[in-house]
Amino acid sequence: MHLESLRIFRDLVNTGTFSKAAELNYLTQSAVSQQLQSLEKSVGRPLLDRGNRKIKLTTAGQLFFKAAKRMVATYEEMTARIQSAAP
């Protein structure tokens, strides 16, 4: 599992659409879908309920989303601190 996959998942849930998540990450909708499938395979559970056109998190998806948000935020905070640190 890569940080980029977590970022894409976070953006997918936050925006509510595959197309907006794809746009934010400079990907195709198909690539976002493939990332989601890869994440679901790695955790062994569906993360989204695909019953209708709206994105709805499963119970596993809710847990995964909370953790993904924290991990991405921690990474972004760390890189910002490194960039602002004196050489």
Average pLDDT by consecutive 10-residue portion of the chain (87 residues)? 93 96 97 97 95 88 98 96 87
pLDDT score of 15? 96
Q: What is the Cα–Cα distance from 27 to 21, expressed in whole angstroms?
A: 8
How distant, in Å, are the alpha carbons of 10, 28, 74 from that of 67? 10, 25, 11
Q: What is the Cα–Cα distance from 26 to 78, expressed in whole angstroms?
A: 23
pLDDT score of 65? 98
pLDDT score of 53? 76
Q: What is the Cα–Cα distance from 7 to 79, expressed in whole angstroms?
A: 15
pLDDT score of 1? 66
Please check whether residue 32 is in contact with residue 4, taking contact to mean a CB–CB distance below 8 angstroms: no
Whether this model's pTM surpasses 0.85: yes
pLDDT score of 54? 84
If one counts every other C-beta atom within 10 angstroms of the C-beta of residue 35, the result is 22
